[in-house]
Amino acid sequence: MIQKTALITGITGQDGAYLAQILLEKDYNVIGLTRGYQTDNLRGLSYLGIKEKIKLVACDLLDISQIIKILQQVEPSEVYNLAAQSSVSLSFQQPIGTFQFNTISVFNLLEAIKLVDKAIRFYQASSSEMYGRVNNLPITEMSILHPLSPYAISKVAAHFTCIHYRESYGLHISCGVLFNHESYLRQNTFFVKKIIQDSIKIHRNQLDVLKVGNIDIKRDFGYAPKYVEAMYLMLQQRDPSDYLICSGQTISLREIIYYIFDKLDIPHDLCQIDNSLYRPAEILDMFGDNTKAKSTLGWKYDLNIYQTLDLLLSEELKNQ
Ligand code: NAP
């Protein structure tokens, strides 16, 4: 059997590492594109014990000539585009840089695929943040987009770039609209990871209080290693399409904090509101409907949010 080659952008991120692990298990030759690598951002690949099994290639995704050359050399059958400035908070501070990278990189990748080999299948990491101000819950693939941050705006533009290349040039492009998903490999600045890390510090008397912004917002979130399985499944379908990947459950940030605090015997009044941590615009509640992903892709997901929190807390405690 001929070994398939998959190319992953954003290989140094949370999803890149877990996706690479799945593809290696399926005997793919995995090439990871990165803007540069050091021990620090290879932490995820090392943690999963797969760093040596992946070929890392430096590539500036804002330079189409570099992408064309790599596609010609590597001849991938699948490209998973996970690279992005992925922080909503940071996008308020760096709106133009976020928009520029998250959109131009997608145009460059798709234009390069169109020029080099239209048979290459493409996965785009779209985001539930695109829905922003939602009128009806649960969100479905048909819900109206109303982004509320520069990050979300960039993801909407990238999403429609993908639809445009699919409809106009017949490329096999699928967008996974992923809701928040967490793991031990999540960047430290993201909410659930930060809550868990700070709570452990409070528990160990290394920190006095947990400072938070608006914790009455509600989110649908799940476990990253399971969510990336859906990315692989999308590119195995005969026809490309877009899918919501979510747990279908919602929980307030306050409930998450109190659940973790209770697990670690921390009094609730050690959680303190800091108004400076509020965002200029905030999504109040969102949860999705994963029926299409489950029925069409055969994606399996049955963890509830508390089971996910238990997994995250125990892995964090084990590694600290
Ligand atoms: P992540 O951990 O933040 O990883 C982002 C990746 O993108 C890293 O490999 C990073 O490389 C790369 N990157 C960032 N800015 C770049 C730039 N200017 N040039 C080149 N590479 C750049 O994100 P993730 O959680 O794995 O998410 C993967 C994708 O899914 C992202 O597109 C994200 O927006 C999207 N998404 C994530 C979630 C979620 O809950 N995790 C939900 C919906 C959508 P460095 O190591 O060099 O920084």
What digits encode the pLDDT tens for the residues 80-117? 999 999 999 999 999 999 999 999 999 999 999 999 99
Q: What fold characterizes domain 5-181+222-245?
A: Rossmann fold (3.40.50)
In CATH, which of 3.90.420.10, 3.90.25.10, 1.20.1250.20, 1.10.8.50 is domain 188-219+249-284+304-318?
Answer: 3.90.25.10
User: What pLDDT, in 10s, does the model give residues 172-201?
Assistant: 999 999 999 999 999 998 999 999 999 999
Ligand 1 shell residues, CB under 6 Å: 10, 12-16, 34-35, 41, 61, 82-86, 101, 125, 127, 178, 180-181, 187
Choice from 48, 82, 94, 305 to test ligand 1 binding pocket (greatest atom count within 8 A of CB): 82
Atom of ligand 1 nearest to the CA of 101: 18
Task: For residue 142, report the phi and psi dihedrals to the nearest 5 degrees.
Answer: -95, -5
The enclosing H or E element of 256 equals: helix 253-263
Q: At what angle do helices 253-263 and 191-203 cross, to 10 degrees?
A: 30
Q: Where in the chain is the domain with CATH 3.40.50.720?
A: 5-181+222-245
How far apart are the C-alpha atoms of 93 and 259, rounded to whole Å? 31
pTM of the model: 0.96
